[in-house]
Amino acid sequence: MDLNYNQQWIKLKERLRPVYRATLKPLREAAYAARYAPANRRLLNSTAAVLEGYRDKHRGERCFIIGNGPSLTPEDLSMLKEEVCFGVNQIYDIFAKTDWRPSYYCVSDLKLLSRIKDDIENKISCQMFTCIDLNRKGTAVNSSCYVRMKGIGNTTGLLPFSADASDCIYSPMTVTYMCLQLAVYMGFSEIYLLGVDHNYAVSVDESGNIVRQDVPDHFSSGYTTLFPFNQGKATLAYESAKAYCDGHGVKVFNATRGGKLEVFERVDLDSLFQ
């Protein structure tokens, strides 16, 4: 990857973004809506009753949201066999090393979803939740429950956070943000993050600069990262989730071993099972 080129390209896009939003984006959105919205609405409607069935299903319970960072181990997952867990993206890459399986599975990135569709249909047996953007080409996935994803627009400050997934979730900077919104919709009162290292080999910081580190991205060397991770925006997403949850009686803890996510209160995973 040519980091200098990518950094210059990102900065150029940031300078051109206001012009694009004022001129070309409305035209593009209208064209995409005309092309994709009808089929996407049919997908959303096809599982609306299923999604409604999860409202407050787990009221007062606790859950674990499993990230795919390098700190995630089969040994830690073995501790969670009796817990309600959200798995994401290519979590199935660890299945050969553990008999733990997620209770729910989520994908929010539309490009990634189209790439791993066959894998998740063959390897994921729990309830899946995948995102649909009305104005983008949707991906039909067998046995998936579809959730409408809305963009955050030109939001300044904290991002919007949805507690009603039957209406929408807001476009996440990370799939963990999708899981947090779904967990609140399901009524969980305690949410624990595990394997959310929030630390990547190539990332974009708050100023739009590309940062490179000699660190692994995920628990598996075969796990593919499609683009530099926007760590600055992801941090803002976590801060937004914390603000919402703090104000609505939902406790979120970070049980990840190490990593760089310091938005949520840290808790030792082992202490939860003593």
Instruction: Give yes or no for a contact between 69 and 92, defined as CB atoms under 8 angstroms apart.
Output: no
Question: What is the 3-state composition of the chain as percent helix, strand, coil, each rounded to the nearest 5?
Answer: 40, 20, 45
User: Looking at residues 19-40, what average pLDDT do you find?
Assistant: 74
Over residues 113-157, the pLDDT tens digits come to 999 999 999 999 999 999 998 878 888 999 999 999 998 766 678
pLDDT band at 1 (very low <50, low <70, confident <90, very high): very low
- What amino acid occupies position 27? L
Q: What is the pLDDT of residue 153?
A: 67
**Nearest to residue 260, comparing CAs of 227, 220, 224, 229?**
229
pLDDT band at 6 (very low <50, low <70, confident <90, very high): low
pLDDT at 231: 81
Tell me the per-residue pLDDT of 244-265, one tens digit each, with 9 for 90 and over: 999 999 999 999 999 999 999 9
Tokens of 264: 């949520």
* CATH architecture for the domain at 3-273: Alpha-Beta Complex (3.90)
- For the chain, domain boundaries: 3-273
Q: Please give the average per-residue pLDDT across 186-200, as a whole number.
A: 95
Q: What is the spatial distance between Cα 172 and Cα 166, in angstroms, rounded to a whole number?
A: 16
Choose the weakest-confidence range: 14-28, 105-119, 218-232, 240-254: 14-28
Mean residue pLDDT of the chain comes to: 89
pTM for this prediction? 0.86
